[in-house]
Structure 1
């Protein structure tokens, strides 16, 4: 699965560096935010701020880099929903 990342600023109040994640049909599937280096919990990591469709839910994982985030997103989008 090919994902497209588009840089954007996110008005979270603290960490503004973000990425919109678009699927192969150019639909918005997720918003990732890079936590600031001063963040006490996970400095410099990427956080799933919002997920849509199959990514919607209670899970908001952290990723050490964008490649890991894309892999996680691709796996979830490829998983077929139960009938």
Structure 2
């Protein structure tokens, strides 16, 4: 399964601005945001800011890196 990532800046209201839009088969399925130093031990990790369809999650996960995030998104879409 191929995912396409597109870097963007998201106005989250915090210092978390580095983000990725995640597309699958032309559809936006998720928005990932890289956590800033405001998040202590989670600095540099990626957060599911928004998921759509099967990627929506009431308890959005935090991922160590983009590879882990993509693997999780792929599993949600399978």
TM over 0.5: yes
Number of residue equivalences: 77
TM-score of the superposed pair, with normalisation by structure 2: 0.92
CA distance in 2 between partners of 1:35 and 1:67 (Å) = 15
TM-score of the superposed pair, with normalisation by structure 1: 0.87
CA deviation vs aligned residue, 1:2-49 (integer Å, no higher than 9, x gap): 0000000010011011000000x2100000000013422511100000
Q: CA RMSD in A?
A: 1.1
Residue 19 (structure 2) aligns with: 18
Larger helix percent: 2
* Runs of 4+ deviating beyond 2 Å: 37-41
Question: What 5-or-longer segments of structure 1 have no aligned partner?
Answer: 79-83
Larger strand percent: 2
Question: What 5-or-longer segments of structure 2 have no aligned partner?
Answer: none
